[in-house]
Amino acid sequence: MTLRAFGQNACNDVFDEVNGMSEQGTMGVKSGLAEMLKGGVIMDVVNAEQAKIAEDAGACAVMALERVPADIRADGGVARMSDPEMIIGIQEAVSIPVMAKARIGHFVEAQILQSLEVDYIDESEVLTPADEAHHIDKSKFTIPFVCGATNLGEALRRIGEGAAMIRSKGEAGTGDVVEAVRHIRGILGEIKRLHGMDPDEVYARAKELHAPLDLVQYCAREGRLPVVLFTAGGVATPADCALMMQLGADGVFVGSGIFKSGDPAKRARACVEATTHFRDPAKLAEVSKNLGEAMVGRSAKSIPEDELFAGRGW
């Protein structure tokens, strides 16, 4: 494979001449970007102005989408990939990685996002699924994918399809952290149990998890997922961010929580600092002061079963 030219890249030719073996889109490169995002906050933004606020507040990446999950939930209807023009506007406004969402199973939306050169594609349950049986074959793409999961089996099925990063789903657009806690505890708890198992018990567990055997064996051997594990869905305050980090997440997605609050710039910055200093209660108290109103929120329990996002995907 050859390196694609971007701007003043005369020496890419030199690379190929000398090595003949520069390679893009490898799993090392895909999961590598997720490794660099660790300990950071990825923020949902709906326009260039919000993206700039997020970058200035220390976001390690932004998720470009037309409506934050709280509005998708309120508006109802079908939620789809964002307008490319809006994504390009955000790419031009910031220098940090820009992610964007495709519908579950909608590989053409993913092809479009790849052609826009977004840095990560989120195959997301927040959008209305396009396929009830098949997720996108993510191994075919040069751009890495992040996927949601509610349990370990689901996480490993997504990695088996080529996902280079996992986020626990939680329940997006609620401001209620309870589902995020349930899912991260579920995923990490199952890994802990696997780690203590005899190798001959792992085969049966892989069958029960409906997950690829080699990936289940990896978790059992290493005591961790093969890729970075972020958390998402209902995280709305600095304390929520620190809670998820103490529970073992590698980093945090904050969606509606920031730009549905009273003072987004201040709250965004507080979430960034809380995610870094997650074991320091004094620091957490300091950054939690005078943040203005949090998003109003809605208890995840009050949402009818068929309106929950987390149940989408399998």
Partner 1 sequence: MAGNTPRVGVLALQGAFREHVQALERLGTTAIEVRTPAELAGLDGLMLPGGESTTMDLLLDSSGLREPITAVVADGLPVFGTCAGLILLATDLEDGTEGQRTLRALDVTALRNGYGRQVASFEAAVELTGDDTPMVGIFIRAPRITRVGEGVEVLASIGDEPVAVRSGSIMAATFHPELAHDDRLHARFLERVTTHS
Q: Indicate whether 285 belongs to the interface with partner 1 (CB under 8 A).
A: no
Q: Residue type at 52?
A: K
Shortest spacing between CB 17 and partner 1, in angstroms: 7
Site residues for partner 1, 139-168, by CB under 8 A, read 142-144
Q: Indicate whether 246 belongs to the interface with partner 1 (CB under 8 A).
A: no
Beta bridge partners of 61: 42
Judged by CB under 8 A, the stretch of 88-96, 145-153, 154-162, 165-173 that binds partner 1 is 88-96
Shortest spacing between CB 52 and partner 1, in angstroms: 9
DSSP letter at 98 equals E
Q: Which residues contact 169 (CB under 8 A, 6 or more apart)?
A: 125, 148, 149, 150, 179, 180, 183, 232, 233, 309, 310
CA 231/CA 39 separation, integer angstroms: 11
- C-alpha angle 304/124/309, rounded to 5°? 5
Beta bridge partners of 121: 100, 145
Is the separation of the CB atoms in 293 and 110 below 8 Å?
Answer: no
Shortest spacing between CB 38 and partner 1, in angstroms: 6
**Binders of partner 1: how many residues, by CB under 8 A?**
54
Nearer residue to partner 1 within complex by CB, 44 or 55: 55
Nearer residue to partner 1 within complex by CB, 23 or 307: 23
Candidate list 38, 52, 101, 192, residue with the active-site label: 101
For residue 301, indicate whether it is catalytic.
no
CA 243/CA 177 separation, integer angstroms: 9
Report H helices in 196-289: 199-209, 213-222, 238-246, 256-259, 264-276, 281-288
- C-alpha angle 101/124/246, rounded to 5°? 105
Q: Which of 269, 300, 309, 313 binds partner 1 (CB under 8 A)?
A: 269
Nearer residue to partner 1 within complex by CB, 36 or 204: 36
Judged by CB under 8 A, the stretch of 125-133, 154-162, 254-262, 274-282 that binds partner 1 is 274-282
Identify which of 249, 246, 250, 269 has the alpha carbon closest to the alpha carbon of residue 258. 269
Is the separation of the CB atoms in 234 and 256 below 8 Å?
Answer: no
Residue 180 Cα to chain centre, angstroms: 12
Give the chain's end-to-end CA distance (angstroms, integer). 34
Nearer residue to partner 1 within complex by CB, 100 or 209: 100
Q: Which of 79, 273, 291, 310 binds partner 1 (CB under 8 A)?
A: 273
Nearer residue to partner 1 within complex by CB, 150 or 231: 231
CA 134/CA 59 separation, integer angstroms: 32
Site residues for partner 1, 22-81, by CB under 8 A, read 22-26, 28-29, 32-33, 35-40, 55-61
Q: Which of 64, 72, 120, 124 binds partner 1 (CB under 8 A)?
A: 120
Q: Indicate whether 277 belongs to the interface with partner 1 (CB under 8 A).
A: yes
Provide the binding-site residues for partner 1, judged by CB under 8 A.
3-4, 6-7, 9, 11-12, 14-15, 17-19, 21-26, 28-29, 32-33, 35-40, 55-61, 91, 95-97, 114, 117-120, 142-144, 269, 272-273, 275-277, 280
Catalytic residues: 101
